[in-house]
Amino acid sequence: MGNISSKGLKVVLFGVSIYGIHFVRRLIKVRGILAGFGNLPGGFAIYGPYSLVTRLLPQIPYLTRKPGWQMRHKYAPSYALPVHQKYGSDIISNCFLFSPTPVTLWVADATVAKQITTNRPDFPKPLKMYKAVSIYGPNLVSTEFDEWKRHRRIVAPSFSEKNNRLVYDETTRIVGELFDSWDAAATADGIVKVDNAVAITSRLALMVISAAGFGYRFGWDEMDRPPVGHDMTFQAALTTVLNNFVLRLILSDRILGLWKGGRKIITAFKETRVYMREMIEERRQSAASSEQADIFTNLINGTSLDENEKGADQLSDEELMGNVFIFLFAGHETTAHSLGFTLALLAIHQDIQERAFQELRNIVPEGETPTYAHVVKWAYGLAVTYESLRMFPPATTFPKYAAHDMVLTTSSTDGKSSINIPVPQGTDIMFNIPALHNNPKYWDEPETFRPERFLGDYNRDAFIPFAAGPRACIGRRFSEVEAVTFLAHLILRYRFEPTPTRDGETFEEKKYRVLRWHQGSITLAPQKVPLTFIRR
């Protein structure tokens, strides 16, 4: 026993020694990188948000940093976290010691954000960070330079005014079916209680992108059981894929197959591929008219079945699959979660909900259904959507890198001095979107839900929920039309409020309860939004 204990102790000491050497080497490397930035101050943690250690441990200062830290701390000071006011600069450094990119620059400066997003040759996308979204094939998001230009040239015509009208038509149809089901389930007083409104917005968003994007229609009740030949529904498969990107990338099928949840992930990725393949083949065989306004028609027409004969304005079959997936993802998860936050904010702020109703009633006569012309004229509805996106951006960051040595000039957080930051070639740069969206230089009382700020002049470079510059989200208008159309129909028919959990619940308690969030694999998501809808 004594010999075994001695050998075990030696093994432990050897392991600790190796770890210590590795730790010191990484620390020396980080210090060298920081010296290249002029020792720009910032935060430090040994393990970053997607480390296995971080997943196993709670957040511990200087040791672990949980996903979603940007939203938790935004722009204001917090212990041991790389927030801007603490370090006195709108650009700060951030270090995760054991990370593939141990040091990054984090930007909450609107002028610098514009400089970076508009100068693509100087600040390209680090494609290594977009491996997850190219899992089904190269696409508009995961490519850069000439390849990106080719994808955009083929895809861009799909996002037109004609498609926007189709988005309105499909959203109106789908919301009408929802209201029919609510009428059947409502109490005698016209009250409908929804346990989690995000379940509604998630299903709505998938139905809209499937119909307006790909001509694939289904009803609210058709998604509960898998169709013949499938083990999962379309929604369940896609949602599982989106929620488990990281696990899928870091774990093999053999490891995932060791537990029930892992096997579900394997099935979901296979099922999503099958669903997309079926959508593609069905459209190819249906002799679809070139006059159709959905996204899919243009993608199919720009696809070559033979990779060797692919022209300059054609996508390969794999690229088609990749773009189908990225539009399903962007049109589903981001819109679903954004609408969930919007409903939560309007439910809490009854005065703003009432103003939204009155503004819309001034546009839509009593007894009429809002038309496309009404929806695009409803400026306050778009302002509500923007304010929700400002406070709860779906993506809390997006990355760039420096193509060559340069200098970025930012300002101190008090605005009194300029700070010149040397940026060596290859430096990874991250946009801290929650910090930018809460920077008091651009937003008065940033913690207050105030849609009116978007009715007048505001710093558009400080508002980037759809990214910015040439690489901004190509489906932005698609998402806006869908969101405002849904809100218009809903607000004209119902008023809504948080479903109470007990008597005497205060405003702050309601606010905390329905605005809780979590960081998913890709986007920010509401935790749970229980709402009660009362027929007007």
- Condensed to tens digits (0 to 9), the pLDDT of residues 264-291 reads 999 999 999 999 888 888 877 765 555 6
Mean pLDDT of 214-238: 83
326 φ, ψ (degrees, to nearest 5): -65, -35
CA distances from 398 to 89, 271, 464 (A): 19, 29, 10
Q: Where are the alpha helices (DSSP H) in 312-465?
A: 317-329, 335-348, 350-361, 372-377, 379-391, 433-437
Q: What topology does CATH give the domain 149-395+465-535?
A: Cytochrome p450 (1.10.630)
CA atoms of 154 and 320, how far apart (whole Å): 11
CA atoms of 275 and 247, how far apart (whole Å): 21
Rounded mean pLDDT of the chain?
89
Assess whether pLDDT exceeds 60 at residue 2.
no
111 band by pLDDT with thresholds 50, 70 and 90: very high
Q: Is residue 168 within 8 Å of residue 487, measured between CB atoms?
A: no
CA distances from 141 to 45, 365, 415, 431, 471 (A): 30, 42, 35, 17, 8
DSSP state at residue 429 = E
**125 sits in which H/E element:** none
- In the chain, pLDDT over 70 holds for what percent of residues? 93
Which string of DSSP letters, residue by residue, matches 23-70?
HHHHHHHHHHHHHHTTS--EEEESB-TT-HHHHHS---TTTB--TTHH
Give the pLDDT confidence score for residue 80 in this predicted structure: 47
Q: Is residue 303 within 8 Å of residue 143, measured between CB atoms?
A: no
CA atoms of 518 and 52, how far apart (whole Å): 18
Give the pLDDT confidence score for residue 164 in this predicted structure: 94
Boundaries of CATH 1.10.630.10 in the chain? 149-395+465-535
The β-bridge relationship of strands 399-401 and 42-45 is unpaired
Side-chain half-sphere exposure of 253, counting CA atoms within 13 A: 5
Q: Is residue 206 within 8 Å of residue 235, measured between CB atoms?
A: yes
Q: Is residue 465 within 8 Å of residue 433, measured between CB atoms?
A: yes
Nearest C-alpha neighbor of 175 from the set 138, 131, 211: 211
Does the annotation list 95 as a binding residue? no
7 burial via Cβ count (<10 Å: 0-12, 13-18, 19+): exposed
Assess whether pLDDT exceeds 70 at residue 309.
no
Assess whether pLDDT exceeds 50 at residue 344.
yes
Assess whether pLDDT exceeds 70 at residue 507.
yes
Give the pLDDT confidence score for residue 4 in this predicted structure: 58
- In the chain, pLDDT over 90 holds for what percent of residues? 56
Q: Which two tokens stand for residue 249?
A: 């990338």
Quick one: the chain helix, strand, coil %, rounded to 5?
Answer: 55, 10, 35
Other beta carbons within 10 angstroms of residue 163's beta carbon come to 23
Give the pLDDT confidence score for residue 305 in this predicted structure: 46
Q: Is residue 152 within 8 Å of residue 140, measured between CB atoms?
A: yes
